[in-house]
Amino acid sequence: MSESPVPHESPIYRRIADRLRARILSGELRDGDRLPGENALMAEYGIARATARQALAVLINEGLAVPRRGSGVYVRLFKPIRRHGSRRLAREQWGQGRSIWDADTHGRPFSVDEVEVTRERASEEVAGILESREVWVRRRRYSVDTRPVQLATSYFPAHLVDGSAITLVDTGPGGVYARLSDLGLSPVHFTEEVRARMPAPRECELLDLPGGTPVIVIERTAYTAAGRPIEVNEMVLDSAAYVLQYDFDA
């Protein structure tokens, strides 16, 4: 339900936002176009600067526009990534050498950067889940259509993956799940915990988030058939770029 019903007497900033939104969604204003500025809105509608700013803020918060310092507010259309909780982790995916990430992007160009692989002492929380004081940590950032959309940090029990390609930047076809499988540690059961919060300054910077954009935080634990926790993955997602989908039966 993209839109909640607007009461007839909605405030003026909201009605202005509605008109600008309609111009974006109809295609009249396109990706990268500059929206009317505060001065133009003040003149057109006879409103105060604060009201013009509120109208633009609505579109920024909806992820439809992005402010550029000292330059104005620009249309930012981005087809949300539909992240399908269960289907993407199906064994057919990584078992055939495809990365899990392919399942999310459906052929859209994506890239991984800021990759960092280290062996570290685990936090209390991660040590508790993985039953291991030492962990291999894989940090990376994913971008889609050149836009950074997700930071991910995976933790593995060090003694179980030492010497494997999981400790290398390039993990080879199928990624870390295929490598866990090579080690007889196939992940077969998953738990995802989903939260939302405002981003930390460092997350704002790495995800290039405009003000007022929350992040979705997913903490996934992967288990082997024997029930051993084999990976914890903490993902921080730009909420304007994602829809998470989960399917299940009664």
Q: Interface with a second copy includes 170 (CB under 8 A)?
A: no
Least gap, CB of 224 to a second copy (angstroms): 10
Least gap, CB of 182 to a second copy (angstroms): 15
DSSP conformation class of 241 = G
d(CA 248, CA 185): 25
Q: How far is CA 218 from CA 43, 140, 237, 242, in A?
A: 44, 15, 8, 12
Determine which helix (DSSP H) or strand (DSSP E) holds 38, and give its type and residue range: helix 38-45
Q: At 229, list the tokens.
A: 């926790």
Q: Interface with a second copy includes 2 (CB under 8 A)?
A: yes
Nearer to a second copy, 4 or 26 (CB): 4
- First-to-last CA distance in the chain? 23
d(CA 177, CA 228): 14
Residue from 42, 85, 204, 206 touching a second copy (CB under 8 A): that is 85
Q: At 221, list the tokens.
A: 């634990």
Q: How many CB atoms lie within 10 A of CB 2?
A: 6
Q: Interface with a second copy includes 243 (CB under 8 A)?
A: yes
Q: How many residues bind a second copy (CB under 8 A)?
A: 49
- The one-letter code for the residue type at 106 is H
Of the candidate spans 64-72, 101-109, 111-119, 123-131, the one that interacts with a second copy by CB under 8 A turns out to be 123-131
Q: Interface with a second copy includes 185 (CB under 8 A)?
A: no
Q: Interface with a second copy includes 3 (CB under 8 A)?
A: yes
Q: At 200, list the tokens.
A: 């930390």
| Sign of the four-CA dihedral 246, 63, 154, 140 | positive
Q: Interface with a second copy includes 196 (CB under 8 A)?
A: yes
Least gap, CB of 23 to a second copy (angstroms): 19
- Quick one: three-class SS letters along 73-88? EEECCCCCEEEECCHH
Of the candidate spans 37-45, 61-69, 71-79, 141-149, the one that interacts with a second copy by CB under 8 A turns out to be 61-69
Nearer to a second copy, 165 or 188 (CB): 188
The residue ranges that bind a second copy (CB under 8 A) are: 1-5, 61-63, 85-86, 89-91, 123, 125-126, 186-198, 200, 202, 212, 214-216, 219, 232, 234, 239-240, 242-250
